[in-house]
Chains A and B, each alone.
Chain A
Amino acid sequence: MDSKESVFKRIMAIRGMGQVVTVTCGLIVLCLVFGVINPMFFTYRNIANLLRQIAPTLLTGVGQSFVLITGNIDLSIGSVVGMSCMISATLMTKGVNPWVAVIITMVVCIVMGVLNGVLVAQCKLPPFIATLGTMTVGRGIAQIVNGNYNTDSIGEGAKFFRTVFYSGKIAGIFTAFWIAVIVWLIFNWLLSRTRVGRHIYAVGSNIDAAKLSGVNILKTVIVVYLVSAVCAGITGLIICASTGTGTMDAGTSYEMYAVAASVIGGVSTLGGQGILLGTVVGAFIWGVLQNGLQFAGAPVAIRNIVIGVIVVVSVLLDVIVRSGKMKPRKRG
């Protein structure tokens, strides 16, 4: 009994866990409601599909969370997804070995991430503007690589690629989800256990204090945009593997889904706060809503409205809780 309690206490002592627990409760309620509405919800088939659907939101959410924790934002995520999808697919249709294609694609994505970081931290551009620019450029690259056409099928040679990134199954679950889990584990370790992770929180919490303590701001900001771009790049590969073709508008609006997942999970857009476990729960809420509402027969329009409302309400609740905490009202 005793040891169990102390484990629970230890978990709750992790900063940001409170919010995650609250949101998790919301997620459970949501699942139960959808389970009651539609008994098919809790079938293996649906859950396996659900996990596969969640992977892109989870991945991009992890990247966006890194950026948000430093108090910045990355609007280029969706375009990097599209870029990654189109570059890898184009290369594969041209007969390039899929693994070489993957490496080339990731290098391009990484360059994009570093560019974002340099624009924001070195050139001092507002992150909204800097990444709005790279977002447009990125989409342009996605369109230009195959001469403004979606690609043909990436073909038989890429079958193994598709198995690895999307359709294969390990322990009954699609590889797309496993990839997201592995990426999450690595970056969660980076954020919570390493020096650079600590510095990411410090930059978002108080950039002057961080600077005066000898934190390398430029390096830290480049790292977060790099992580974001890597996550987006992998997401692009998953999408390429899922459809088997390159689509130019792949990943459109993903940066906003990523913000939603992060914010629902308790990552503050003002920086300094949030944990990646929250982003997981946020991504699940996102996925369950999409999936559950679809099951319940709600049209896309209704799904959009519901999700939009939930994003705003979850942030609003957070703002209310926080402002109450900061300024305790004394008398009248």
Chain B
Amino acid sequence: MERQQIVKMRGIMKSFPGVKALDDVKLDLYSGEVLALLGENGAGKSTLMKVLSGVYMRDSGEVEIFGRKIEQDWNTTKAQEAGVAIIHQELNMCRHMSVAENIFLGREIIKNGQLDNKAMNEETAGILAQLGMDIDPRTVVGDLQVSKQQMVEIAKALSKDAKILIMDEPTSALTSKEIDELFAIIRKLRQEGKGIIYISHRLEELKHIVDRVTIMRDGRYITEMEFDESRMDEIIAHMVGREIKEKFPRVFCEKGEKILEVKHLNAGRLVRDISFDVYAGEIVGVAGLMGAGRTETTRAIFGVDPKESGEVFIDGKKVSIHSPVDSIKAGLVLVPEDRKKDGLCTRLSIRDNISLPNLDILCNRWGTVNKKAEGEMSKKAVENLKIKLPNTEVDAGSLSGGNQQKVVVGKWLARNSRVVIFDEPTRGIDVAAKVEIYNLMNNLKQQGIGVLFVSSEMPEVMGMSDRIIVMCDGKITGELFHDNATQDRILTFATRFENKLEQ
């Protein structure tokens, strides 16, 4: 089959309020090839693919598919008609419905005014057999394993005659055998002349299927090259390759006593045998890629998700934490990733938010809130943290992101907590506010409070932490001290997946 260019993207720009997600990006895809689209979290890979598949509208730039110029009013329906199919990371299936029903959803076969289930089941069986998938078309999708569901999604795309397949992290939930099956299908599709864009953080997988790579970083196109395993280091360097621009206000403290110790913690697939400790006077960073299990680990420690096994010690004493209440009582608190959803009651006042977890302190024995103590507590928190607000009665949701984050921290500091876990505290806030959050962490560190700092932004983890724990696939894969931590090293640990494939 002749190799022809099927996708050509040039000068793609896409902005979201306050963020330039794509800045002059280009991408080429040829028939009969597997192109790996590589980059760190937030490099713009998914955004670019959403532009291609019509989910997002591009601000400017040119797209050609099969040599045909794509107009600005590109949408998902048109993309599907043109043969572009995207297989999402989170599966898009109706789990109550059968395989055949899902594959034919929206374009059911009708005979005599009613559904022709027989024909649809037969045709589905044909498609599945072609792909070498051993699945009964009448099985309910929710009853299938995740890997099989993914296969069904691929089958659905192909049944719509897709010629350009975008796969976003397709192997993250699969076992080695299933990955083998998936790769066999990908190779088959490649032979048939389809173009496949493959997004994965598992660099060690690439050598099995990938022909070419395109690398992005910070919303920009960096380079493209033929894939060659021996150039892996070069690829990683391109992916990371950024200087640390922002300044991080590091302070040095004497390392004190051990405050928090976690031993052999297990909680589901993404928290496996986690052991680490935090000392007074240090910030411990937790680095890793999306889906490495960092948030899950913090949730398990804090008691939001159930623990399967493992022990937690605070100040040398074993504590049993079955719920956030236990954790808060023990002096271990969490500043969650999604502050609007998990951190604040955005429609309550700042005073209410700060007193909420401290009502046990603020109430007398009849359960009446001591208004005076409450007012003092919120006033103190606002002063200590320099929260900028008109008064403590305004809605927490009306504050800026950085100040909201301070309120979340403030409510915990009001009760003399021992360990504060920050999960992505600087996400979505501006640089100035970030620096204030950093200063806040430093303050805690100086006060001898243990700080655990989870972040996807490598520069800030490196800039702020005294010690960095790197996670991958639910396990701790490495530990680095700040003076010997480099982005390459962290990324190497962060992509150290269990080798699921035979070499």
Interface status of B105 (Cβ within 8 A of chain A): yes
User: Which residues in A have their C-beta under 8 angstroms from that of B96?
Assistant: 15, 201, 204-205, 272-273
Q: Is the CB of A212 within 8 A of B108?
A: no
Residues of B within 8 A of A (CB): 76-77, 80, 92-98, 101-102, 105-108, 110, 113-115, 138, 140, 308-309
Give the 4 A-B CB pairs with smallest separation, nearest first: A205-B94, A214-B106, A213-B106, A272-B96
B138-A13 in contact (CB<8A): yes
- The answer on a CB contact under 8 Å between A210 and B94 is yes
Chain B residue with minimal CB distance to A331? Answer: B308
Pair A189/B105 contact, Cβ less than 8 Å: no
Question: Given A206-B95, A273-B96 in contact, is the A332-B308 Cβ separation under 8 Å?
Answer: yes
CB distance from B80 to the nearest CB of A (A): 8
CA distance A215 to B110 in the complex (A): 15
B113 touches A205 (CB 8 A): no
Given contacts A209-B102, A214-B77, A214-B105, 17 further A-B contacts (CB under 8 A): A189-B114, A193-B114, A194-B114, A194-B115, A195-B108, A198-B97, A198-B115, A199-B106, A201-B94, A201-B96, A202-B94, A205-B94, A206-B95, A210-B94, A212-B76, A214-B107, A272-B97
Q: Which residues of A contact B (CB under 8 A)?
A: 13, 15, 189, 193-195, 197-199, 201-202, 204-206, 208-210, 212-215, 272-273, 330-332
Residue from A189, A198, A330 whose CB has the most chain B CB atoms within 10 Å: A198
Do B105 and A215 have beta carbons less than 8 Å apart? yes
Measured CB to CB, the nearest residue on chain A to B138 is A13
25 residue pairs A–B, Cβ–Cβ below 8 Å: A15-B140, A194-B113, A194-B114, A195-B108, A195-B115, A198-B105, A201-B97, A201-B101, A202-B105, A205-B95, A205-B97, A206-B93, A208-B92, A209-B93, A209-B105, A210-B105, A212-B92, A213-B106, A214-B77, A214-B80, A214-B105, A272-B96, A272-B97, A273-B96, A331-B308
Q: Which residues of A contact B114 (CB under 8 A)?
A: 189, 193-194
| Residue of B106, B113, B309 contacting most chain A CB atoms (<10 Å) | B106
Contact check, B94 vs A206: say whether CB atoms are below 8 A apart. Answer: yes
Nearest A residue (CB) for B91? A209
Most chain B CB neighbours (cut-off 10 Å) among A202, A205, A273: A205
Which residue of chain A has its CB nearest to the CB of B90?
Answer: A208
- Chain A CB within 10 Å, residue with most, of B76, B97, B108, B113: B97
A-B contact count (CB 8 A): 68
Report whether over half of chain A's contact residues are helix, strand or loop; otherwise say mixed.
Answer: helix
Q: Are B138 and A213 in contact (CB under 8 A)?
A: no
Q: Give bound CA distance, A212 to B106, whole Å.
A: 9
Shortest distance between the CB of A53 and any CB in chain B (Å): 33
Question: Bound state CA distance, A331 and B268, in angstroms?
Answer: 12
Q: What is the CA–CA distance of A205 and B113 in the complex, to the nearest angstrom?
A: 24
How far does the alpha carbon of A202 sit from the alpha carbon of B103 in the complex, in Å? 12
Nearest chain B residue, comparing its CB with the CB of A332: B308
Minimum CB distance partner of B141 in chain A: A205
Given A193-B115, A215-B105, A209 and B94 contact (CB-CB distance below 8 Å): yes
- Bound complex: CA of A197 vs CA of B108, how far in Å? 11
A205–B95 Cα distance when bound, in Å, is 7
Which of A197, A209, A330, A331 has the most B CB atoms < 10 Å from its CB? A209
In the complex, the chain A residue whose C-beta lies closest to that of B77 is A214
A56 to chain B, nearest CB (A): 29
Q: Is the CB of B138 within 8 A of A215?
A: no
Give chain A nearest CB distance to B98 CB in angstroms: 8
Q: How far is the CA of A202 from the CA of B96 in the complex (A)?
A: 8
Chain B residues lying within 8 Å of A215, measured Cβ to Cβ, are: 105-106
State which of A198, A206, A214, A332 has its C-beta within 8 Å of the C-beta of B92. A206
Residues in A whose Cβ lies below 8 Å from that of B94: 201-202, 205-206, 209-210, 272
Question: In angstroms, how far is the closest chain B Cβ from the Cβ of A66?
Answer: 15
Which residues of chain B are within 8 angstroms of A332 by Cβ–Cβ distance?
A: 308-309
In the docked arrangement, what's the CA distance between A201 and B115, Å?
14
Question: How many Å from the CB of B79 to the closest CB on chain A?
Answer: 10
CA–CA, A204 to B97, complex, Å?
A: 10
Chain B contacts of A197 at CB under 8 A? 115
- B281 CB, nearest partner CB in chain A, Å: 37
CA distance A304 to B392 in the complex (A): 49
Contact B110 A202 (CB under 8 A): no
B308 touches A213 (CB 8 A): no
